[in-house]
Homo-oligomer: A and B are copies of this chain.
Amino acid sequence: MASIRDIAKRAGVSIATVSRALNNDPVVTPRTREKVLAVVNGEGYVAPMGRRVTTNIGYAHVGRQANIYDSALLNGVYDSALVAGVLRGLDESRLNVVMLNVNRDKATGETYTQFFVRMGVRGVLLRTTAQSRHICQTIADEGFPAVVISERFDSPNVSFIDCDSRADSVRAVEYLIGLGHRRIAFAMNAVPDCDHLDRFEGYKQAMEKAGLGVDEELVLRQRASLSGGATIIEMLMRRSEPPTAIYFGDQVLAVGGVNKAHRLGVRIPEDLSVVGVDDSEMRFSVHPTMTAVCQDAVQLGMEAALGLSRLLKGTVKGCFRKTLPSYFEVNESTGPPPLRPGGAVAIGTDRAASDDLRAEAAAPMRGQATSNGSGNGQEPVES
Contacts and interface: CB of A to CB of B under 8 A. Distances in A.
B110 A87 contact: no
A96 B100 contact: yes
Contact of A285 (B54, B91, B122, B285): B285
A238 interface: no
Contact of A69 (B50, B84, B101, B107): B84
A145 interface: yes
Contact of A54 (B1, B96, B114): B1
Contacts of A285: 74, 226, 255-256, 259, 285-286
A77 interface: yes
Interface residues of A, number: 84
B37 A312 contact: no
Interface in A31-88: 37-38, 40-42, 44-45, 47-54, 56, 67-69, 72-74, 76-77, 79-81, 83-84, 87-88
Contact of A22 (B21, B114, B255, B284): B114
Contact of A280 (B21, B74, B117, B119): B74
Interface in A252-271: 255-256, 258-259, 262-263
Contacts of A42: 143
Contact of A312 (B47, B53, B110): B47
Interface in A154-211: none
Contacts of A312: 47
A99 interface: yes
Contacts of A9: none
B77 A120 contact: no
A23 interface: yes
Contacts of A69: 80-81, 83-84, 87
A142 B259 contact: no
Nearest to A21: B114
B118 A23 contact: yes
B67 A87 contact: yes
Given A49-B54, A113-B41, A286 B286 contact: yes
B91 A84 contact: no
A197 to B, nearest CB: 24
A379 to B, nearest CB: 24
A51 B58 CA distance: 14
A74 B1 CA distance: 41
A39 to B, nearest CB: 10
A109 interface: yes
A348 interface: no
Interface string A94-123: 101111110011010111011011111010
Interface string A268-305: 00000000000011101111110000000010000000
A117 B22 contact: yes
A349 interface: no
A345 B259 CA distance: 24
Interface of A: 1, 21-24, 26, 37-38, 40-42, 44-45, 47-54, 56, 67-69, 72-74, 76-77, 79-81, 83-84, 87-88, 91, 94, 96-101, 104-105, 107, 109-111, 113-114, 116-120, 122, 142-145, 226, 255-256, 258-259, 262-263, 280-282, 284-289, 298, 311-312, 314, 317
23 contacts: A24-B118, A37-B111, A37-B114, A41-B113, A41-B144, A45-B145, A48-B122, A49-B52, A50-B52, A50-B53, A51-B117, A51-B118, A53-B120, A56-B56, A72-B281, A73-B77, A76-B77, A76-B80, A76-B280, A91-B101, A96-B119, A97-B99, A259-B289
